[in-house]
Structure 1
Amino acid sequence: MALTVSLVVFAGIIVLILLRTGYLRLWPAFAAVLFGFTLASTGIAPAITNGISSVAGWISSFG
């Protein structure tokens, strides 16, 4: 049975774990989130989305 989890949820869980364990501090995490939102509004956002989709498709081909 294949379970599909959104990449956003997966990344959020990873960030939360890193924050709770102390490997990532609050302000650098906040800066990374702001960078992500800023990057999403640029012209390179479709290329990043296509790259993530192709990597996800490549990974799912193994299953």
Structure 2
Amino acid sequence: MAVSISAVVLLGITVLVLIRSGSVRTWPALACTGVGFFLASTGAAPVITDAISAVTGWISSI
């Protein structure tokens, strides 16, 4: 759970910085957010969560 919250905060900050710098416009960022919410309610969500957990576990073992 802590990894998920940290990832959400990190990704949120990244999106805000990209919007403020002009690299990503507001509407595409909102579209990506919508896709993320819809993806979270599909069968792919557990696979994505497992992949993120594996990567963070790998990084923490370095």
Same fold? TM cut 0.5: yes
Higher helix share: 2
2:14 match: 14
Task: Give RMSD over aligned pairs.
Answer: 1.3
- Which residue does 1:28 correspond to in 2? 28
TM-score, normalisation: structure 1 = 0.89
Which stretches in structure 1 are left out of the alignment for 5+ residues? none
| Higher radius of gyration, 1 or 2 | 1
Q: Which runs of 5+ in 2 are unaligned?
A: none
Which 4+ runs in 1 deviate beyond 3 A? none
- The percent of aligned pairs where both chains have the same amino acid is 58
Per the normalisation by structure 2, the TM-score is 0.90
| Separation of aligned partners in 2, 1:10 and 1:22 | 18
Q: Does 1:57 align with 2:57?
A: yes
